[in-house]
Homo-oligomer: A and B are copies of this chain.
Amino acid sequence: MEVDYFWKNIFVETTEIIGLVAGLLTTVAFVPQVIKTWKSKSARDLSLVMFSLFCLGVFLWTIYGIMINQLPIILWNIITLILASVILFFKIKFKD
């Protein structure tokens, strides 16, 4: 019984760590795109529709996180929303 409890704990902790790393990666992924676009001042190959839909979706994820009261969902999505919005702003600013 104690051994079962031990492995259950390991499983729960592993799951939490995987969720944390997953959230970290899908959020920080936008940083190199922000830096690249800022440096090159070129956003021709970026899809305006993609970043518009993505920002709207991440905004709704934040609302969803607030409604189910899950701080990790709220925080990751607010940071992602800021980064994706910067890219969307660059896309509009650096006209083709």
Contact = CB atoms under 8 A, between A and B. Distances in A.
Interface of A: 11, 14-15, 18-19, 21-33, 35-37, 40, 42-47, 49-54, 56-58, 60-61, 63-64, 67-68
B57 A22 contact: yes
Contacts of A57: 21-27, 29
B25 A49 contact: no
Complex copy number for this chain? 2
A46 B45 contact: yes
A69 B76 CA distance: 21
Given A40-B45, A47-B33, A61 B26 contact: yes
Contacts of A54: 25-26, 29
Nearest to A61: B22
Nearest to A37: B45
Contacts of A56: 25
